[in-house]
Amino acid sequence: MPRIPEKMSERERILELKKEKNAVILAHNYQRPEIQDLADFVGDSLGLSIQASKVEAEVIVFCGVDFMAESAKILNPQKIVVHPEPKARCPMAAMCELEGLIEIKRKYPSAKVVGYVNTTAACKTEMDVCCTSSNAVKVVSSLHDKEIIFVPDENLGRYVQRFVKDKNIILWPGFCPTHNAIKPDQIKRLKKAHPDAVVIVHPECRPEVIDLADAVKSTEGMIKFVKASDKREFIIGTEKELIYRLKKENPEKIFYSIPGAICPTMKMITLSSVAKALENLAPRVELDEETIRKAKIPLERMMEIGRGD
Ligand code: 13P
Ligand code: SF4
């Protein structure tokens, strides 16, 4: 009897389609392990923006949330940018709307606007410079102005204010539901159970959580910190999937995650949605020329400033 050829796995299909369509897959550190495993590049928001600006392939399949895929399009308007799950929208980015941003700018006409990349492309058109969790302190410090409107993450803005004492930072009431839900008691409990563990948290965490940390880092900053550390155990105060990469790159080290620290929108992208997106080269990120032109300015200023951690 002739042998029935084995059905191609979804992973194999994606790798095949990637070649066929001349595509690259960029994935954020919070993506599902199976997505991280087939990505050409896995990183934090800043690393992904830098990578997106260097892509030579014709198609970028962006595995992350909406604002990240939009940034890839802004930096690469001539490329096809596919976001496999358009419903994967960062709730924090949705907390800052263009009208509100224009209003606060009117209230503080001499202030400069520093916008976290976790914002819509429309909001970026009204910003002076963007930042990520890696370089927020560096970006704000680089400005000569004394008054800064910082949107949309209040926790990150408060964290920056600790280092930039000579400026008045006007905060916006936005937050990340995943990081804001991390409570000091969770860190204390883990620390009690693992007294030798180093506590690393993301700057999107509440100030009371930041006060308990040994280090505050972006997701890529955490990867670098762990690699360089001679310690063995780490409590990771961010979305749990970062531990997949941490373990993969540091098999001899031990990591403790925070119960419940999951970003549901990051998990919307699956192997099936990536395969479908590659097959159809859709859904695409489409932005009008004027938005791209204006939003590119603060993004490029941020990239010139570079990493801070
Ligand atoms: P990073 O830039 O540190 O990867 O953070 C992005 C993000 O959305 C954190 O919640
Ligand atoms: Fe947005 Fe928070 Fe998810 Fe990051 S972890 S994408 S800030 S909701």
Tell me the pLDDT band of 8, cut-offs 50, 70 and 90. confident
Which residue ranges have their beta carbon within 6 Å of ligand 2?
65, 90-92, 118, 176-179, 204, 239, 263, 265-266
Same domain, 73 and 222: no
Residue 142, class by beta-carbon neighbours within 10 Å (0-12 exposed, 13-18 middle, 19+ buried)? middle
Digit-coded pLDDT (tens) for 102-159: 999 999 999 999 999 999 999 999 999 999 999 999 999 999 999 999 999 999 999 9
Task: Assign residue 167 the CATH number of its domain.
Answer: 3.40.50.10800
Digit-coded pLDDT (tens) for 240-298: 999 999 999 999 999 999 999 999 999 999 999 999 999 999 999 999 999 999 999 99
Residue 56, class by beta-carbon neighbours within 10 Å (0-12 exposed, 13-18 middle, 19+ buried)? exposed
Ligand having the closest approach to the CA of 29 = 1
Distance 45 CA to ligand 1 centre (A): 6
Same domain, 165 and 294: yes
Q: Is the dihedral of CA 55, 96, 215, 249 positive or negative?
A: negative
Q: Which two tokens stand for residue 170?
A: 């006007």
The residue segments making up the domain with residue 84 are 10-90+267-287
User: Please, are residues 216 and 187 in contact by the beta-carbon 8 Å criterion?
Assistant: no
Residue type, 261: A
Digit-coded pLDDT (tens) for 28-53: 999 999 999 999 999 999 999 999 99
Same domain, 78 and 152: no
Q: Which two tokens stand for residue 290?
A: 């004027």
Establish if 228 belongs to a structural domain. yes
* CA proximity to 111, closest of 101, 120, 121: 101
Under 8 Å CB-to-CB from 5, ≥6 apart: which residues? none
Which atom of ligand 1 is nearest to 90's Cα? 8
For residue 6, the model assigns a pLDDT of: 58
Establish if 127 belongs to a structural domain. yes
For residue 12, the model assigns a pLDDT of: 95
Distance 6 CA to ligand 1 centre (A): 39
HSE, CB side, 13 Å, CA atoms: give it for residue 127: 33
Which DSSP helix (H) or strand (E) runs through 208? helix 207-210
Q: What is the pTM of this model?
A: 0.96
Same domain, 64 and 31: yes
